[in-house]
Amino acid sequence: MKETLLNPEIEARVDVILSMLSVQEKIGQLFQEKAECENLEELKSRIRAGRVVEGYGEDPYLTGQLGAAAVEGYQGSELQQMKQSKRVVACAKHFIGYGASEGGRDYETTEITEHSLRNAYMPPFREVLDRGCMTVMSSFNELNGETASGSHRLLTELLKEELGFAGFVVSDWAAVEELISHGIAANHREAARISLSAGMDMEMVTRCFLDSLESLLESGAVSAGRLDDAVRRVLRAKLMYGLFEDPYTPVEPEALEIHTSDLALARRAVAESAVLLKNRAATLPLQRSRGKTLLTGPLLHAQAPLLGTWSMDGQPDDVTTYQAAFAAEWGSEAYVTHDPALMDQGLAMAHNHKS
């Protein structure tokens, strides 16, 4: 949906609602599209990529504009909005090149020319960072043979120095430990040393940092200055978020309800995202005078699949099925649908049909 929503204002308004609902659920940082919602996905240049649905598409300008709108929606246009527990910390991901995986396969390596990196992949990140995005997630992938989550050139020289990023870098899920799988670290201690020295500030899920940083610091394998910088970046984000002033977010049960106005905005966002690919014989808009409409397909009665990606905690019962929506608008006499009992017979007829 996101890549066809050519309306940054609607994007921001949707993300305001998502951020406020997340805060009420004691979620303070948003990564992906689920109840935690979606954030600022990087450019998706490979349409075959399995996670292409999470991003804003292949256009650098559109990705940057919608991503910047999302930052404002999540964090608020002013720091005070976020400190008053009405917003969350946004995270731009994945840095960098994750959307260009070979063959569209998750975790696969990427090959991007310097020209494409700077003219297609970096501009969206520049837009969201200029809007004040407070965190960036490192990528799983290798970029031109260089492991992104262990690359000083990418995390420090490119992101922090050239793009001027002052927030903190968080690893993708277990990405620090996976430096072992990439073959550039022999163990957890080595993975922690490489990643922290490269510019990683926070490790997600695995314990390479927790188990190794004290001894790495004592041995001089990592510098106190780099560790101080990582801690400072994380604490600065927490301070700006207001966690030192009010570390506990009060939950008001009645506020957790999704209001009618929220649903109306969601429907508008979906409607504005719809793309009509074909309209043979002016079939749309539907007209009653043309007779009944055939409703069919594997998602006709689906609820859970319509919640979208990363929606493990979603409530399928809240989803209106396609058939129910059509019936509510046109009436139950306006359509016909398939009879599951005749499925085998229909398949046999289709198999034997000669065109």
Tens of pLDDT, residue by residue over 126-151, are: 999 999 999 999 998 999 999 999 99
> What pLDDT is stored for residue 181 in this prediction?
94
User: Tokens 């960098």 identify what position?
Assistant: 96
Position 100 in a domain: yes
Q: In this structure, what is the dihedral angle of CA atoms 289, 290, 291, 297, given to the nearest 10 degrees?
A: -140
Note whether 21 and 140 are same-domain residues.
yes
Give yes or no: 172 in active site.
yes
Question: Considering its fold, how many domains does the chain have in total?
Answer: 2
Position 310 in a domain: yes
Position 320 in a domain: yes
Cα 3 to Cα 6, 61, 129, 272, distances in angstroms: 8, 11, 20, 11
Position 264 in a domain: no
> What pLDDT is stored for residue 150 in this prediction?
97
Note whether 102 and 215 are same-domain residues.
yes
- Over the chain, what is the mean pLDDT? 85
CATH value at residue 97: 3.20.20.300
Note whether 137 and 11 are same-domain residues.
yes
Residue 86: CB atoms within 10 Å: 14
Note whether 230 and 317 are same-domain residues.
no
Q: How far apart are CA 273 and CA 157, in angstroms?
A: 37
Cα 127 to Cα 19, 101, 132, 341, distances in angstroms: 20, 23, 9, 54
Position 257 in a domain: no
Note whether 289 and 225 are same-domain residues.
no
Note whether 209 and 346 are same-domain residues.
no
The one catalytic residue in 106, 130, 172, 344 is 172
> Which structure tokens are listed for 26?
């004691």
Position 191 in a domain: yes
Position 75 in a domain: yes
Angle at 82 between CA 198 and CA 229, to 5 degrees: 20
211 membership: H or E segment, kind and range: helix 208-219
214 membership: H or E segment, kind and range: helix 208-219
In the predicted model, is pLDDT for residue 289 greater than 50?
yes
Which of 192, 211, 241 represents a domain boundary (last residue)? Answer: 241
Which amino acid appears at position 254 of this protein?
Answer: E
Residues 214-259 have pLDDT tens digits of: 999 999 999 999 999 999 999 999 888 888 877 665 555 555 667 8
Largest CA distance in the chain: 82
Which amino acid appears at position 126 of this protein?
Answer: R
Residue 326 contacts residue 295 (beta carbons within 8 Å): yes
Burial class (CB in 10 A: 0-12, 13-18, 19+), 43: buried
> What pLDDT is stored for residue 189 in this prediction?
98
> Which structure tokens are listed for 122?
């970096």
Note whether 191 and 299 are same-domain residues.
no
Q: Is 209 helix (H, G, I), strand (E, B) or coil?
A: helix
Angle at 308 between CA 310 and CA 99, to 5 degrees: 65
> What pLDDT is stored for residue 79 in this prediction?
61
Note whether 226 and 289 are same-domain residues.
no
Can you give the pTM of this predicted structure?
A: 0.85
Omega before residue 96 within 30° of 0, cis = yes
**Domain extent at residue 30:** 2-241
Give the residue with greater pLDDT, 289 vs 231.
231
Note whether 208 and 342 are same-domain residues.
no
Q: Cα 188 vs. chain centroid, distance in angstroms?
A: 28
Omega before residue 182 within 30° of 0, cis = no
Q: How far apart are CA 128 and CA 145, in angstroms?
A: 27
Note whether 346 and 203 are same-domain residues.
no
Position 260 in a domain: no
Residues 62-110 have pLDDT tens digits of: 889 999 999 999 888 766 666 665 678 899 998 998 878 777 777 788 8
Burial class (CB in 10 A: 0-12, 13-18, 19+), 152: middle
Note whether 181 and 38 are same-domain residues.
yes
Note whether 98 and 214 are same-domain residues.
yes
